Amino acid sequence: MSVGIDDISFYSSGMFLPLATLAEHNGEDPDKYRIGLGQERMGVPAQDEDIVTLAANAARPLINSDNRENITTVLFATESSIDQSKAAGVYVQRLLGLGSNCRIVELKQACYSATAALQMACGLVARKPESQVLVLASDIARYGFDTPGEATQGCGAIAFIVKANPRLLAVHAETGCYSEDVMDFWRPNYMDTALVDGKYSTIIYLKALRQSWKNYHEAGGLDFGDFSRFCYHLPFTKMGEKAHRKLAVTNGVSMDVELLEKQIGSGLLYNRQIGNSYSASLYIGLLSLLENDQEDLSGQNVGLFSYGSGCVGEFFSVTVQPGYKQYSRRVQHVDMLETRQELDYEGYASLFSHTCPKDGGEHYFPSEAAGHYRLAGIHDHKRIYTETGD
């Protein structure tokens, strides 16, 4: 029996800022963002969107009358948590109409936690093969205006179902981890934006990659040459290129532009359009690979590196299942990205400076969200989620 990802979908907000607009405002060369960071657009959440609505919108296409009652666990990975106590997944359970015989929990470790969720889900399914686990990862990346990280903001959510004998990806048991107590990126409870030592974070990322790869290999994992494609955590897509070049050098493989494009190019497309989505970013990249690669990847191995500042890294691998293409939602995902509303700088600044009020008062938000679910307001300290009918 294999265990892995049976179905997968993603969602980002209905509004975006072109990074060329941000470059013009910040007095930067647009090529710094387009080429230097590898980013074109940044997803900007509406006032009535948060990690719950993004995740519920991502998961909605995956839920049907066949699996609604069979999902026994919901794991919600995020580093933009909305509550210190209640798991965001409990709201999603109600919005999606999932059965009540279900365990739900939230996981945190910067951008890494969705990988912990995936590994836990595989363990649960291996122990009870008839069960299905819904993994959600949803984040809004905020660094603040006029910070070096500003151009790498964004938002997005991924949802996938982990099952026995999956239709899309079988996850291998071998895995390699690396953890170290470092302060490259963190967000104290009293702050809405992350604190980051950006250059240091890229150095630690690459160190964690080397060490995780070594540990993966020691655990009996595949060789570099056994993989046809690689996906990396993508705080900005250029980071994936840097990581892949580093892994190639580590393995004595010479990496030219053509091989780089073949091995990671199709996995960068969605992230380039939405920006950083923290915990979701590796998996939105994986989805981008499955939906956009021109080759039939059936039977081929994909290597994945997950990184969360602070830090935890994990290298693991999957095999693409024959027939995976027939379950693609590419048309819907591309349509979602292409029908987003473009913002000017003032529109972005106004939306991004909106953070959920903390005064304990009554708040109702304008109806802006493009998806099926929205955060209508806050009443009596409780978030009120509604359906838009779209």
Catalytic residue among 40, 49, 79, 241: 79
Choose the stretch contacting ligand COA; rule: CB under 6 A; options: 101-109, 147-155, 254-262, 358-366: 147-155
Among candidate residues 95, 91, 127, the one with its CA nearest the CA of residue 106: 91
Written as one string, the DSSP assignment of 37-89 is: S---EEE---TT--HHHHHHHHHGGG--TTTTTTEEEEEEE-SS-S-SSS-HH
Q: Is 333 a catalytic residue?
A: no
Is 299 a residue that touches ligand COA (CB under 6 A)? Answer: no
Among 201, 212, 263, 301, binds ligand COA (CB under 6 A): 201
Judged by beta carbon, residue 24 or residue 83, the one nearer ligand COA is 24
Is 335 a residue that touches ligand COA (CB under 6 A)? Answer: no
CB 308 within 8 A of CB 234: no
Choose the stretch contacting ligand COA; rule: CB under 6 A; options: 51-59, 113-121, 130-138, 144-152: 144-152
| Minimum CB distance to ligand COA, residue 297 (Å) | 27
Partners of residue 196 on adjacent β-strands? 185
CB 160 within 8 A of CB 121: no
| Minimum CB distance to ligand COA, residue 144 (Å) | 11
Q: Is 111 a catalytic residue?
A: yes
Among 3, 5, 15, 37, binds ligand COA (CB under 6 A): 37
DSSP E strands, the chain: 3-11, 15-18, 41-43, 71-77, 103-107, 132-141, 154-164, 169-179, 185-186, 195-196, 227-232, 301-308, 312-320, 341-342, 363-364, 373-379, 382-387
C-beta contacts of 251-257 below 8 A and 24+ residues apart: 251/223, 251/224, 253/224, 253/225
Judged by beta carbon, residue 122 or residue 311, the one nearer ligand COA is 311
Is 152 a residue that touches ligand COA (CB under 6 A)? Answer: yes
Judged by beta carbon, residue 276 or residue 288, the one nearer ligand COA is 276
Is 263 a residue that touches ligand COA (CB under 6 A)? Answer: no
| Minimum CB distance to ligand COA, residue 197 (Å) | 8
CB 165 within 8 A of CB 47: no
Angle 137-265-318 from CA coordinates, rounded to 5° = 55
Among 199, 330, 354, 379, binds ligand COA (CB under 6 A): 199
Is 205 a residue that touches ligand COA (CB under 6 A)? Answer: yes
* CA dist list (Å): 25 to 19, 28, 30, 130: 10, 8, 10, 54
Among 149, 156, 265, 303, binds ligand COA (CB under 6 A): 149
Total chain residues near ligand COA (CB under 6 A): 20
| Minimum CB distance to ligand COA, residue 182 (Å) | 11
Is 72 a residue that touches ligand COA (CB under 6 A)? Answer: no
Among 148, 299, 322, 323, binds ligand COA (CB under 6 A): 148
| Both structure tokens of 192 | 């809405």
Catalytic residue among 40, 49, 106, 111: 111
Among candidate residues 301, 280, 292, the one with its CA nearest the CA of residue 328: 292
| Minimum CB distance to ligand COA, residue 171 (Å) | 23
Is 35 a residue that touches ligand COA (CB under 6 A)? Answer: yes
Is 202 a residue that touches ligand COA (CB under 6 A)? Answer: yes
Burial of 187 (0-12, 13-18, 19+ CB in 10 A): middle
How many helices, marked H, and strands, marked E, lie in the chain? Answer: 12, 17
Q: Is 79 a catalytic residue?
A: yes
- The rounded radius of gyration (Å) of the Cα atoms in the chain is 20
Binding site for ligand COA (CB under 6 A): 29, 31-32, 35-37, 148-149, 151-152, 196, 198-199, 201-202, 205, 235-236, 239, 309
Could you list the active site residues? Answer: 79, 111, 233
